[in-house]
Structure 1
Amino acid sequence: MKKKWIWIISGVVIVLLIINFAAAIFFYHLAVERNVKDFLNGNADLEVEAETLDVLLDGDWRDWSDEQPFEIWHQTSFDGLDLQGYYLEAEQPTNKVVLFAHGYLGRGKDMALYGQHYYEDLGYNIFTADMRGHGESEGDYIGFGWHDRLDLINWIAQVIERVGDDAEIVLHGVSMGGSTVLMASGEELPANVKAIVADASYTDVNDLFAYHLDRMFHLPSFPFIPSTSLVTQIRAGYGLKEASALDQVAKAEVPILYIHGKEDVFVPTEMTEKLYDNTGSEKELLLVDDASHGESFVKEEERYKETLDRFLERFVQEN
């Protein structure tokens, strides 16, 4: 009888392990693997007001971007991927450059929404890239900022080579891009990087996945998040806890401006507040009323620009 129960329990454990592993592969395919993300269609957490949607989809900034003579740049990443970027030289010679990092499922030129202000009002050179697994860049997985931070550092080197050793660089990212620039902040950045702007950022990928696993599927973190992390480590080369903006900002030396919408439930506002509290460098925080995920610029454009401009004036000098 005892042996029978051992076999039954062993069988149940094996079945549960198989289910857990299958779920981990499913969640990796759902979120990390490069493919069409139908699960985001109709996601209430990503809903924005109709006026905001009009700006994001059909705003004048898109026409402005299409009219600009962007140069196409390339880099070969540390793991052999061909990545594509876009450089726009300022109308007047300047050593000021903004490097953008876009959000999940986006493209580099989506950041023209912010780039037009840097270019027309602040006179910056602009660089933006399709992150690995996005747009015209290679990659069969999404890095969620972790491997992308190293790609960003390589782009910084190319920008300095183009603009000169006196280049004054700002890193500006939104959503996944915001976490990317924060993950880069903990690395040994060149002194040319003077300021970082992180809009709607998450603390780390482990926390983000756990949050959405509960919110979207009503499932506990354990055992699904650790097993998904293992699959991600095997297939993409990084673990979910490893990909931590929270750990990186504690080592940051570059000043950071944090921005987040108070009504963001896709990446909860509390994550930016936690990042802010954990930041080792000079920092500033702007929370925008009535703004959901990535909506702050559109909802409070003038306040966003004024806060950004004041922050940049403190740390970026034109030579």
Structure 2
Amino acid sequence: MMKRLGLLPLALTGVYGILSYHVYKNVTKPQIFTHEEAYDYDIQQGSYNAVLIRSMPKETTIIPSSFGYDLFAYWIPYKGATKTVILTHGVTSNIYGALKYFQLYYDLGFNVLAYDHRNHGESGGTTTTHGYYEKHDLEDVVRWVRQKVGSNAIIGTHGESMGASIALQHIATYDNLDFVVADCPYEDLFTILKYRMKVEHKLPIWLGLYGASLINKLMGQGFYHDVSPVSEIEEVHTPILFIHGKKDHYIPFDHSVNLYAHKLEGIRELYLSKNGDHADSIIEDNAQYVDVVYDFLKKIGLKK
């Protein structure tokens, strides 16, 4: 009997290790859409017009990442433009999820660059780190745009969900852009993972997050708490517009409210879409969404 009791801690440790690895694997290697699947999904959602997307004057571009893999991108030039927006998509999606914001900026005379994050779409990289490495990939994209457009380039980012949080982590690290629009970002990776697991599982699977975070660190990708836009944003001077749907079932809108509250320097704006669910505010409240973005760009001198 005593021998069996002595084995119990070892058995529980083994079970927790298996649970932690399962959580780590799901976070790091999510099930991702192909380009075709993402395109079909967004057409069904009413994100954009198929004719418009097919007729875009896009150039397929490969941008080298500093980490040794390639990032697949579409460069959509506007003749003579010095202004460029970089679109960043959410987790499991890809370049076609980001293109719902293309016309918003192209109509204002912006060049548009959309790309696949690492481990998504046609880009390289074998893991998703939710910003830990992706923020540096984004800086590689920014450098590519500056080389393409020239030293007078005006550059901003517009991201949704994970892409929005990546854009915020990037600006907190580099603070070298003209604006950021962050649509439905999470404030902290550990916080949103814990919330999602409590929503999606009856059992306390979220307890495995602590072990998964340690595995993530041992794999060279940082602790989950290291991916935390809310802890990094206080000293960012770049103008930021936070957008979030009040009906967002995936990332509660208070994440954007908290991020807005923690940005203490420079211009900040917050728009809570009345009818927006996760990453669809531009669809559900399109006219107001466009007005809010355009008013923000006007305020910072990028729209007449």
TM-score w.r.t. the length of structure 1 is 0.86
Contact 1:265 1:293 (C-alpha < 8 Å) held by counterparts = yes
Contact 2:64 2:140 (C-alpha < 8 Å) held by counterparts = no
Separation in structure 2 between the aligned mates of residue 236 and residue 108 of structure 1, nearest angstrom = 26
Separation in structure 1 between the aligned mates of residue 279 and residue 125 of structure 2, nearest angstrom = 25
Q: Report the counterpart of residue 240 of structure 1 in structure 2.
A: 224
Quick check: 1:184 aligned with 2:170? Answer: yes
Q: Report the counterpart of residue 25 of structure 1 in structure 2.
A: 21
Gaps of 5+ in 1: 38-52
Deviations along 1:250-289, whole A, 9 cap, x unmatched?
Answer: 2311011000010112111111111111113321100011
1:222/1:305 Cα in 2 relative to 1: closer, same or farther (>3 Å)?
A: closer
| SS of the residue 1:298 aligns to | helix
| SS of the residue 1:106 aligns to | coil
Residue from 96, 112, 130 that aligns with 2:116: 130
Separation in structure 1 between the aligned mates of residue 277 and residue 108 of structure 2, nearest angstrom = 27
What is the aligned length? 295
Identity %: 25
Residue from 87, 103, 116 that aligns with 1:100: 87
Shift of 1:55: 5.3
| SS of the residue 2:225 aligns to | coil
TM-score w.r.t. the length of structure 2 is 0.90
Q: Report the counterpart of residue 65 of structure 2 in structure 1.
A: 77
Shift of 1:128: 0.9
Residue from 211, 228, 237 that aligns with 2:195: 211
Q: Report the counterpart of residue 295 of structure 1 in structure 2.
A: 280
Contact 2:84 2:156 (C-alpha < 8 Å) held by counterparts = yes
Shift of 1:212: 1.2
1:138-217 to structure 2, matched below 5 A, reads 138-190=124-176, 193-217=177-201
Separation in structure 2 between the aligned mates of residue 276 and residue 315 of structure 1, nearest angstrom = 17
Gaps of 5+ in 2: 34-40
> Higher mean Cα deviation, 105-114 or 169-178?
105-114
Contact 1:153 1:189 (C-alpha < 8 Å) held by counterparts = no
Quick check: 1:13 aligned with 2:1? Answer: no
> Higher mean Cα deviation, 72-81 or 292-301?
72-81
1:222-261 to structure 2, matched below 5 A, reads 223-235=207-219, 237-261=221-245
Q: Report the counterpart of residue 308 of structure 1 in structure 2.
A: 293
1:19/1:262 Cα in 2 relative to 1: closer, same or farther (>3 Å)?
A: same
Show structure 1 runs of 4+ deviating over 3 A.
7-10, 34-37, 53-62, 218-223
> Higher mean Cα deviation, 208-217 or 27-36?
27-36
> Higher mean Cα deviation, 53-62 or 211-220?
53-62
